[in-house]
Structure 1
Amino acid sequence: MAKSRLFRSTLIVSAMTMLSRVLGLVRDVVLMGVFGAGGLMDAFLVAFKIPNFLRRLFAEGAFSQAFVPVLSEYKEKRTLDAVQVLISRVCGVLSLVLLVLTVAVIALAPFVVSVFAPGFNDDAAKFSAATELLRLTFPYLFFISLTAFLGSILQSYGRFAAPAFAPVLLNVCMIGGALFAMPLFEAGVIGAPIMALGWAVAISGVLQLAIQLPELYRQKLLIAPKVDFRHEGVQRILKLMMPAIFGVSVTQINLLLNTVFASLMIGGSVSWLYAAERLSELPLGLIGVAIGTVILPSLSASRANARDDEFRLTLDWAARLIVLVGLPASLAMFALSDVLMNALFVRGEFSTHDAAMSGLALKSMAGGILGFMLIKIFAPAFFAGQDTKTPVKIGIVSVFANMIFSVIFIGLFYLANLPLHGGLALAATGASFVNAGLLYYFLHTRGIFRFGAHWRRMGAQFAIAAAAMMASLYIALPYYPAEGEMWHKISILLGLCMLGAAVYAVVLLATGFRPRQLKPSWSGQ
């Protein structure tokens, strides 16, 4: 992939992902305003997290990381007919597995809710709502996993727009469900009001799958599925996927474990953590996910053709962009956590107390943004070389680290008389750096990728600019009005963000950093 095309693809995915994240933020503001924190909103979030967790675990995580390198090898070294057969067989096997899993979870929904939210067992209304919502939302996994599969094919052929736009439809459907469909449910025409969100999730899965089909047809890759577990490509993907299920999605496992723990805490803890996670995902989605998505096909092609220098330069370029955005994003989220929650969420059923509790979670989670971003580029470096064992070992260590951190931080928060959910968020931050640090350690010791000498100067430049940004934010924060009209508070918040970004950019340029340092430095093929 030529460097101009790689950079352009990153911009496309970043733009589409940002649109999705912004609409996702609007969605969460609407949901929290309409339903509030705690109660049935906790029930919906748990029910939605289960298929969403499995989506990231199987479809966007392990499956994508196992499928793309094999598809890239077929694309580089075999005929179009062979590629079409591979797609057909993989689609057939994936569809069968998803169908069986969906039927099983729907049948065992009460048991699944008990496992993922044991704190709901003592609240009959919340447990019943979560069970019904899980049965309604879980088919979303079937459609969204196939969406991710088709999106991986398009991305391998340099078509990034449709896969990146698909998540926008989920947000549009959920906003529509809360604002327009919910009154029908509230009037008793269909069912309980919270069920409007369940139907919105289910419908969005079908729509996201549908928009992938036209581009696949144009690429002559829309092939009828056929189940064949004995196909050579299918067996290779399954072999790569088994350990990758754990390795690439360890972040999601840690966050889901936090949901399990939060269900045992005071009402509202699940919603507070969810609000913090959603805001922390804004910069992660803009750069981390976008770059991780774009570089995997490029890294896989470099590995398949033994272009090691291009492989390392691709990873170095991705790391520059990650640190450029991830470092100030982590620090700004920490500094502005309370302001963000107050300006964006306080309205309707979401109180100032809810904002303060969510702000505490975001402050604890903010430091992990950079760690989460680095995982998005370090993990694909292993999967591009079809090495799934190393990330899975690191993933196991990270999960245990999260558990240990959870016990330690919850204990410290308890002794300090602070809300316990903040300790959970801080544990996720610690686990993210354990994961990212170990991934880099093995990349470094095996000679796959190392931060070169140019990173010493560049790291100092990033650090100085970030420190100046933090100083400007803390100086300006007293001017934020805790009370007032929503749009006035949001305008002040935007002003603070613009101030921080401007100071960061000016100081970065003053230290000698230049935009050309962000350009890919290889010739490409």
Structure 2
Amino acid sequence: MDKSFLKSSSIVTAMTFLSRILGLVRDYFIARYFGANGFTDAFLVAFRIPNFLRRLFGEGAFSQAFVPILAEVRANHDEAEVQNVINHIGTKFLTVLIIITVITVVIAPLVIFMFAWGFYFDADSTKFDLASNMLRITFPYLLLISLTAFAGSILNTYDKFAVPAFTPVLLNVSMILSAVYLSQHLETPIMALAWGVLIGGIVQLLFQIPFLIKIKKLPRLARGDHPSVKTLKKRMLPALFGVSVSQINLLIDTMIATVLVSGSVSWLYYSDRLLELPLALIGIALATVALAKLSKHFSNKDEKKFTRTINYALKIGLLLGAPACAGLVLLAEPLIITLFQYDKFDAFAAHMSALSLIAYGSGLLAFIVVKILAPVFLSRGDTRTPVKVGVIAMVSNVFLNIIFAYYFAHVGLAVATSISAVINASLLYYYLKKQSIYQFSNDLIKLFLKVLLASFIMVVFILNFSNDISFYLENSVWQRITSVAITIVASAVLYFACLRLLGIRMKQL
């Protein structure tokens, strides 16, 4: 067992869990105060655009390209050169972000047309106008959160994982307070959510600065050029596809959903939010630590530790991802009803959201594997392979979207995204094996079979002993919460008990 990896990933998981729980609280208030309708569709589009680009410029492509560069410089040069690299990359990054932000704010209606053309062609222009106005408020969040991710990448390289993992909590707090209090003072209440996003971005960035000062790595403006900037460009541009395909696919889902019946964007959003909880706790937490560790091992030419890190990350991902996948699929509607069905979020919205959650949840393991395997290539400076795979997965998603959306509406979009994730994960592993970088070990395959058996037993338990949907529709919030909590805890205890009987021990992974 890699104790260092386990400790670091546990810290990230704990902080991410806190953030995601608050994220669900945030979504509870959004659902309760604003429901699932044209107004929430407009906000979610205005929020998803900078949030999507954040995954590319922030903790997505930028971080995946920047961390290996910084780790390499740190391993082979002194601290002065590390600071020099941080300064030059930070300056160029800030310049690009300012330009993109200013242009987008000016042409906000055109951007909304590009990403949500269904709003433009709607007979009622309210959604289009509202989304355009909100985008002018939410888009500067991209600048703020990307700089926050830049700071977080520096901290992660120095094994300071807790602070970057905790930072998203602040956005959730800001949005919750805006939904509850600020919305009461605005002519258009839902505009409060847009202001909450902007305020949250400011607070997140300011929060990280003291920790950068503590490790003496606060970025400063720098003139001129530096070889590291060219290396970053070379690695980052392809990585835009390679590490962010799932987010690109989700954005494509949103774009097509704007053409479907009103509420479709919101249904997909709420189901995606529940998917993101286990994905963040397992996949993103493992990927965050794995990238830093893999980059370090590759820079030190330690192939044994490099391979062991991949194997360990996949084992943990499988061990935790399999029951989470089954739970999302089997408990989709109870979870949606318990968390969101209050006031303006009705039973119909809950049912439609649950259907897409089942489709998303079925692909959870594939999403997790992609998060773990893509950084393997990037830690070695290989951005071409993830790009090839990413393009294939994205094109597949587009074609599948068109086919499935025609027959199954918003659920078809979620199905297509999950299938494209399976394609993505399969091809990433194919190229790892082909390039003799990594292949599944015998002990990983044995673990898979034991996890499969334990998961099957858990599924049988849930199907036979969990309450039916009518129970959740007819009872109070506390009865709903108690029922879901008991089912989840009992299922988890049964699952891990089965693993223990099958001989699985954490120390032996």
1:231 and 2:226 correspond: yes
- State the partner residue of 2:211: 215
Q: CA RMSD in A?
A: 1.2
Deviations 1:253-276 (A, max 9, x none): 000000001000000000000000
- Kept after mapping to 2: 8 A contact 1:96/1:227: no
Aligned equivalent of 1:521: none
> Corresponding residue for 1:155?
156
Residue identity in the other structure for 1:25: L
Q: Provide the residue aligned with 1:522 in structure 2.
A: none
Indicate yes or no: 2:421 matched with 1:432.
yes
Question: Residue type of the partner of 2:162?
Answer: A
> Aligned match of 2:449 in 460, 470, 476?
460
What is the correspondence of 1:347-366 to structure 2 with a 5 Å cutoff? Answer: 347-366=342-361
- Separation in 1 of the partners of 2:244 and 2:92? 21
Structure 1 residue aligned with 2:493: 502
Counterpart of 2:189 (choices 185, 188, 193) is 193
- Percent of matched pairs sharing the same residue: 43
Indicate if the aligned counterparts of 1:155 and 1:297 stay in contact, CA closer than 8 A: yes
Q: Sort the Cα spacing of 1:227 and 1:331 in 2 relative to 1 into closer, same or farther, 3 A.
A: farther
The one of 252, 265, 269 aligned to 1:270: 265
Write the mapping of 1:23-38 to structure 2, written as runs, cut at 5 A: 23-38=22-37
Residue 125 (structure 2) pairs with residue 124 (structure 1): yes
The answer to whether residue 489 in structure 2 is matched with residue 488 in structure 1 is: no
Number of the residue aligned with 1:167: 168
Q: Which amino acid aligns with 2:58?
A: A
Counterpart secondary structure, 1:158: coil
Alignment of 1:64-79 (within 5 A): 64-79=63-78
* 1:449 corresponds to 2:438: yes
Once the two structures are superposed, residues 196-238 of structure 1 have per-residue CA deviations (whole angstroms, 9 ceiling, x without a partner) of 111110011111111111111111111312253x311111111
Q: Which amino acid aligns with 2:506?
A: P
For residue 523 of structure 1, what is the aligned residue in structure 2?
Answer: none
Q: 1: distance between equivalents of 2:183 and 2:231?
A: 46
Counterpart amino acid of residue 455 in structure 1: L
How far apart in 2 are the matches of 1:8 and 1:37?
40
CA distance in 1, matches of 2:444, 2:303: 20
Q: Give the distance between the partners of 2:259 and 2:423, measured in 1 at CA.
A: 26
What is residue 459 of structure 2 aligned with on the other side? 470
8 Å contact 2:29–2:179 — kept in the other structure? yes
Matches of 1:5 and 1:308 in 2, distance apart? 17
1:281 aligns with 2:312: no
The superposition leaves residues 364-401 of structure 1 with CA deviations (integer Å, 9 ceiling, x where unpaired) of 11111111111111000000000000000100000011
Q: CA deviation at 1:479?
A: 5.3
**2:112 aligned partner:** 113
CA–CA separation in structure 1 for the residues paired with 2:445 and 2:198: 49
Match of 1:392 in 2: 387
Structure 1 residue 40 displacement after superposition: 0.9
Q: Secondary structure at the match of 2:382?
A: coil
Letter in 1 for 2:63: S
> Does structure 2 conserve the Cα–Cα contact (< 8 Å) formed by 1:472 and 1:499?
no
Q: Does 1:61 align with 2:60?
A: yes
Return the match for 1:334 from 329, 338, 343: 329
Between 44-53 and 477-486, the greater mean CA deviation after superposition = 477-486
CA distance in 1, matches of 2:39, 2:459: 38
> Take 1:206 and 1:49, find their aligned partners in 2: how far apart are those partners?
18
- Distance in 2 (alpha carbons) for counterparts of 1:199 and 1:140: 10
Alignment partner of 1:212: what SS?
helix
Report the counterpart of residue 292 of structure 2 in structure 1: 297
CA contact (8 A) 2:16 2:166 kept: yes
Q: Deviations over 1:274-305 (max 9, x none)?
A: 00000011111111111100111110111111
User: Relative to structure 2, which stretch is displaced further, 319-328 or 478-487?
Assistant: 478-487
Residue 310 of structure 1 corresponds to which residue in structure 2? 305
Which consecutive residues of structure 1, in runs of 5 or more, have no partner in the other structure? 414-419, 519-525
Task: For residue 53 of structure 1, give the secondary structure of its aligned residue in structure 2.
Answer: helix
1:6 is displaced (CA, Å) by 2.4
Deviation at 1:180, TM superposition (A): 1.1
CA distance in 2, matches of 1:150, 1:344: 33
CA offsets, 1:410-460, max 9 Å, x none?
A: 2443xxxxxx10000000100011001100111111111111111232111
Aligned pair partner of 2:341 in 331, 339, 346:
346
CA distance in 1, matches of 2:228, 2:34: 47
> Does structure 2 retain, via aligned residues, the 8 Å contact 1:292–1:376?
yes
Structure 2 unaligned spans of 5+: none
The worse-fitting range, judged by mean Cα deviation, of 500-509 and 356-365 is 500-509
CA deviation vs aligned residue, 1:166-208 (integer Å, no higher than 9, x gap): 10001000000001111111xx4xxx21111111100111111
| TM-score calculated relative to the size of structure 1 | 0.95
**How far apart, CA to CA, are the structure 1 residues paired with 2:417 and 2:36?**
21
Map Cα deviations across residues 57-78 of structure 1 (whole Å, 9 max, x no partner). Answer: 1211111111111100110000
Moved more, 506-515 or 352-361: 506-515
CA positional deviation for 1:513: 1.4
What is the number of equivalent residue pairs in this alignment?
Answer: 505
Partners of 1:508 and 1:8 lie apart in 2 by 22
Residue 8 in structure 1 maps to residue 7 in structure 2? yes
SS at match of 2:181: helix
Contact 2:311 / 2:444 at 8 angstroms: preserved in 1? no
Structural mapping, 1:370-389, within 5 Å: 370-389=365-384
